[in-house]
Amino acid sequence: MISHHLLTLLVFLPSLGALLILAVRKSDALARLVALGFAVAELVLSGYFFTLDTVHTLYPAPAGFFQYENVHWIDFFGIRYTLGMDGISLLMVALTAFITVIGVGVSWQGIKERVPLHFALLLLMESGILGVFLALDLFLFYLFWEVMLIPMFFLIGIWGHGRRIYSAVKFFLYTFLGSLLMLVAIITIFLMHGAQSGTYSFALVDLIGTKVPYDVGLWLFAAFLLAFAIKFPLFPLHTWLPDAHTDAPTAGSVILASLLLKTGAYGLVRFGYPLFPDAARAFTPLIYAAAVFGISYGAWIAFAQKDMKRLVAYSSVSHMGFVALGIAAWSPIALSGAILQMVNHGVTTGALFALVGMLDERTHSREIDTYGGVWGKVPALSFFFLLFCMASAGLPGLNNFVGEFLVLIGTFKVAPLPAGFAFLGMVLTLVYTVRLVQEILFGKERKPLVMHDLSLREGGILAVLAVGAVYLGVSPSPLLELVKGPVALLVGVK
Amino acid sequence: METIAIPAINLAPIMPEIILSCIAMLLLLVNVFVPSESKGYLGVLSLVGLVATAASVVSGWGQPVAAFGGAVQLDNFAVFFKLIFICSAALAILISDKYVVREEINHGELYPLILFATVGMMLMACGMDLMVIFLGLEVLSISLYVLAGFNRGSLKSNEAGLKYFLLGAFSTGFLLYGMALTYGATGSTKIGNIAGFVATNPQVATNSLFVVGMLLIAVGFSFKTAAAPFHMWTPDVYEGAPTPITAFMSAGPKAAAFAAFIRVMIVAFPTLKHDWTDLLWILAVLTMTVGNIIALSQDNIKRMLAYSSIAHAGYALVGFTACNPEGVAGILFYMLSYTFMNIGAFAVIVLIGKKGEANGNVQDFAGLGQKRPLLAAILCVFLFSLAGIPPTAGFVGKFYLFSAAIKSGYIWLAIIGVLNSAASVYYYLRVMVYMYFKPSEEDFDWVGMTPAIAVCLLLCVATTLVLGVVPGTVLELAQKAVQF
Amino acid sequence: MESIFFLIVAAVAVLSSILVVTCKNPINSALSLVMTFFCLATLYVTLDAPFMAVTQVMVYAGAIMVLIVFVIMLLNIRVEAVKRGSHAVFAGGAIGLFLLFQTVWFLGRGTLSGATGTMDRAQVVKVGHIELIGKALFTDFLLPFEITSILLLAAIVGAVILAKRKI
């Protein structure tokens, strides 16, 4: 019985954990343990899915999906509760489960007020994100898409720093506005499909076959693109991101950068392109331009930042540009690269935010000016800092290199010009990363800093992330193998 | 001398009204003998009366019966709306017991007046005769004028009562004038006969009396639904009236106005459909936008909810503009959801408030999330629902309304609608910002839950979530209720 | 002949109702209102509705106005001290004129015809006005007639609540 509803279990297990935490909210220590327990259980569960490679489901699944659930929900609107997992979803799910464990880890001690609520929100967040990665019914997808905002709003607003309230509200409104227009587009295509086929359905597999007039399709795709581009974030819709990332608590920043941004990219891959292939083709030059400009612009602005967290935030804009580039190219190699890059960026940026959080906990400053000569004081921390900076800069042998390289190759075949510009952007990435490493780790000590090196907990978190980064860099082929099938199906659609 | 032959009388369709009126009169009598500290029992009695009325209403489902020569008709449409009114009255009574004691307005007449108002609303929903609708509206309005000014010691409440009375009388004038002109043009006040006359004499659509009559009726109902630009009375009245009454007014009477508005427009003026949907388009856009934009800058939470209720009337008007079965069913569903989510929010306001309507500003909610986590979480559910964020009833309602608009080809209206809901999120979030993100200055130790309010909150939260997650059954009922 | 009579009475009605709102002395306002009611009663007579005319005089001009005048005397309301002639009057007048223009323009656009019912002068003369009203009240408008009782009850309860010194 339960084996047919594994996906449901996967999505709602964290919510269950959140409820349990609220039940034991009198004890902070217990809340932490419950959170960690559920996060790890979720990670194990998501790992279990790697062992299921054949179709293993009660319900007839569309091609490529090896886990599928499809039950009645609101028949009145033709809404069904449809969850499905293919290779792409599986990667994203695994990333989500992994990063949530990291998120619980980094906020183990940093959060001192309202501890149970914090961990409950982290787990709720996980449920929402997993729902987004697994939903195959547009209504259900939209529901998770919105629900996921709520915990993040509270995470930023309650435990954030600086202008936390401004950032939280800005984050919420920005993303909410974009997704509402997507809702209109969803309803429109739902009605068009219903009028054409006579059956009203929100299922992705049904809606893909809808014949959309070209000009209408442009508008609908634009609405989807707006929602996804805000999450992505594509230049010039990124302005919420630096604020939200900077003011969020460490776990919030990690999840925001590693997971929330991916939902935008995932949505574009899963829904945007397949639903409106013609319109997507028409918009491709625009996405290229936004991607390439975002890569260079993000890197350029990152170079000028004084606040480390802001710097990493802008570097996300830059890195996500590569993902956009790979999606826009829509060739098997580029798309695989983009999906891989989503995972890579999740690991690297998550690690960088965690590191910045650790430095912040020690010195209560995120200003680059405060630091200098850190290498001599805390060698272990510095080692990881260097490692992840290098990974972020795309050093061969580490994870980002593979993703970005694949994206560039794939794009170069289809569109040499954007690929060329993106390559220039990569060079800029190197510039700001080297500056960061140079000033913080090796520069002259500007102020006397009293720091202790990594604790066992912090070391463990970073080591796990480092293993991930190295593994993804050295042998990405199993993952590429995993997404190969789904990517071929997707690209074949076009 | 000719004798008057009184036609056969079938009381079944107006049984709910009869039961409720009798209960109200009984309450008036009993009230004399009840000492002032136990007036709460009158509330219990009126709840019993409402339940009995609801049972009698439900029995009318599925078998439309007309009576009094077609002056009233108890059909699914009326049943659905009557249940909304009964819910709003019951919830308002549940939250008043604490409030009236605190504000020292513990007079037993509160309950009969609420019941009389409910009788008026029910007549509006089942009235098929312009006179019945008008008199129902008057019974409702007279009761509400008094209820708005019920707190005699408070200047604001007095102002609310007087303002509501003056503007209400003004709008009644419009409505009555419109009905008179329509009667002049068609020779009947029964909307069934009007529809028949229009069908056999299509040239009446060019008759100025008829057109102006329709316009004036629309204006009159727009006043009652608080649609912009006829919304001016709403904020002051909602702010000044006693909080449970505000909750009641924002839910039941608004729905009642929609019930009568929809029935009159769709049944009596089908030939002018293009004219009045154009009119409603403009009204809907204005109402949503004005309500939301002004709500953005409100500090007083009752006032904010007043403006937000204007905006919500605007969303309902979107469905009305669409003028297809989906749109009307959407309004039915939305009004039901709105009743629960809005009265739920008001219940929390009643709890937080202090004597003399103090503590009604959004700043006074600072720190509620820490000091009263459960209460804050409950308010969050209502606010998210009002903002239209899934998985709540408000989201499903808006989803239905906007789908109906898109289906009728009003895609721009739907876009303006969603942009408005995006704007509205800001002021709902603002309350949450204060509840969770600002440090508390108070202990909230005066916030004492009473059984009645607990029941009300429980009902409201449960309904808001259930209608958000598994709305199927109610949606089907709403769809079946679209018959005139 | 009849239309000239109508015009004269209508003009007086309009003028006196303007006086109701412009008079500074409340007693004068009240008396102007009585005048308006009388004009309306006259119009009812020309419409073959003698019962309406009598009721109008008895209820409005008689009972209600006496009450109003009584209250004015009792409260000793003085000549109104509010300053007039500000923009409010100007704006109100402008809006009123605009509405008047709009109404006239609208009414002029389409046809203007009422539906003719079964009640005509011959019928009124034959059966009698009071009888016709009575019959309508107890047949067609039986339910509205009954609802009125609820309405009045609610209004009385409301009046007691709002006005009684101690409840």
The whole-angstrom separation of Cα B322 and Cα B273 is 11
Nearest to A187 among B403, B421, B471 (CB): B403
pLDDT tens for the 494 residues of chain A, in order: 567 788 888 899 999 999 999 888 888 888 889 999 999 999 999 888 888 766 556 677 787 788 888 888 888 888 889 888 888 999 999 999 999 999 998 888 888 888 889 999 999 999 999 999 999 999 999 999 999 989 999 999 888 888 888 999 999 998 888 888 899 999 999 999 988 888 888 888 888 888 888 888 999 999 999 999 998 888 888 888 888 888 888 888 899 888 998 999 999 999 988 898 888 889 999 999 999 998 889 888 888 888 888 888 888 888 898 899 999 988 888 899 999 999 999 999 999 999 988 888 888 888 888 887 788 888 888 889 899 998 888 888 888 888 888 898 889 888 888 888 888 888 888 888 888 888 888 877 777 777 788 888 888 899 999 998 999 888 888 888 888 888 888 887 54
Inter-chain residue contact B418 with A172, CB threshold 8 Å: no
Q: Which chains touch C (3 or more CB pairs under 8 A)?
A: B
DSSP letters for B366-420: TTHHHHSHHHHHHHHHHHHHHHT-SSSHHHHHHHHHHHHHHHTT-HHHHHHHHHH
Q: Do chains C and A touch (3 or more CB pairs under 8 A)?
A: no
Q: Is-contact A336 A487, C-beta < 8 A?
A: yes
Neighbours of B153 (CB within 10 A): 10
Q: What is the mean pLDDT of each run of 10 residues along chain B (484 residues)?
A: 75 91 92 84 92 92 86 91 94 90 85 94 92 94 92 87 89 91 88 88 82 89 88 88 92 93 91 87 92 90 91 93 90 94 92 79 85 89 92 92 91 91 91 87 78 92 93 90 82
The pair of structure tokens assigned to B279 is 């009119």
ipTM of the complex: 0.91
Angle in degrees, 0-180, between the axes of helices C26-46 and C65-75, rounded to the nearest 10: 180
Inter-chain residue contact B142 with C154, CB threshold 8 Å: yes
Residues present in chain A in total:
494
Nearest to B145 among C114, C141, C158 (CB): C158
The whole-angstrom separation of Cα A136 and Cα A86 is 11
Cα C156 → chain centroid: 21
The whole-angstrom separation of Cα C162 and Cα C150 is 18
The whole-angstrom separation of Cα B124 and Cα B139 is 10
Q: Scanning every residue of chain A, which has its alpha carbon at the shortest distance from the alpha carbon of B414?
A: A184
Distances B337 to B122, B376, B478 between C-alpha atoms, Å:
18, 20, 12
| Residue A73, helix vs strand vs coil | strand
Neighbours of B464 (CB within 10 A): 26
Q: Which residues pair with A72 in a beta bridge?
A: A80
User: Considering only CA atoms, which of A265, A261, A264 is closest in space to residue A326?
Assistant: A265
Inter-chain residue contact B470 with A74, CB threshold 8 Å: yes
Nearest to A164 among B373, B414, B437 (CB): B437
Q: Which chains touch B (3 or more CB pairs under 8 A)?
A: A, C
Top-level class of domain C1-79 = mainly alpha
The whole-angstrom separation of Cα A186 and Cα A207 is 10
Angle in degrees, 0-180, between the axes of helices B191-200 and B155-186, rounded to the nearest 10: 40
Q: Where are the domains of chain C?
A: 1-79, 117-167
DSSP A271: I
The pair of structure tokens assigned to A367 is 């200003």
Burial of C102 (0-12, 13-18, 19+ CB in 10 A): exposed
Q: Which residue has the tokens 């929330």?
A: A260
In degrees, to the nearest 5, what angle opens at C-alpha A49 toward C-alphas A48 and A54?
125
**Average pLDDT for chain B:** 89
The whole-angstrom separation of Cα A464 and Cα A190 is 44
Q: What local confidence, expressed as pLDDT, does residue A494 receive?
A: 43
Query: What would the mean pLDDT of C2-11 be, rounded to a whole number?
Result: 88
Q: Please report whether residue B289 resides in a domain.
A: yes
B56, amino acid identity: S
Give the 3-state secondary structure of chain C. Answer: CHHHHHHHHHHHHHHHHHHHHHCCCHHHHHHHHHHHHHHHHHHHHHCCCHHHHHHHHHHHHHHHHHHHHHHHHHHCCCCCCCCCCCHHHHHHHHHHHHHHHHHHHHHHHCECCCCCCCCCHHHHHHHCHHHHHHHHHHCCCHHHHHHHHHHHHHHHHHHHHHHCCCC
The whole-angstrom separation of Cα C149 and Cα B116 is 12
Q: What is the pTM of this model?
A: 0.92
Distance from CA of B151 to the nearest CA of C (A): 9
Q: What local confidence, expressed as pLDDT, does residue B253 receive?
A: 92
Inter-chain residue contact B109 with C160, CB threshold 8 Å: yes
The whole-angstrom separation of Cα A58 and Cα A55 is 9
Inter-chain residue contact A177 with B419, CB threshold 8 Å: yes
- pLDDT, tens only, C67-124: 888 887 887 766 555 555 566 677 777 877 887 887 777 777 767 677 776 777 777 7
Q: Where are the domains of chain A?
A: 63-84+134-491
The whole-angstrom separation of Cα A276 and Cα B202 is 46
The whole-angstrom separation of Cα B120 and Cα B131 is 12
Nearest to B425 among A77, A157, A172 (CB): A172
Q: Which residue has the tokens 């190699």?
A: A333
Inter-chain residue contact A154 with B370, CB threshold 8 Å: no
CB-based contact, B384 to chain A, within 8 Å: yes
| Residue B354, helix vs strand vs coil | strand
Residues present in chain B in total:
484
**Total number of domains constituting chain B:** 1
Nearest to B422 among A154, A158, A173 (CB): A173
B418, amino acid identity: V
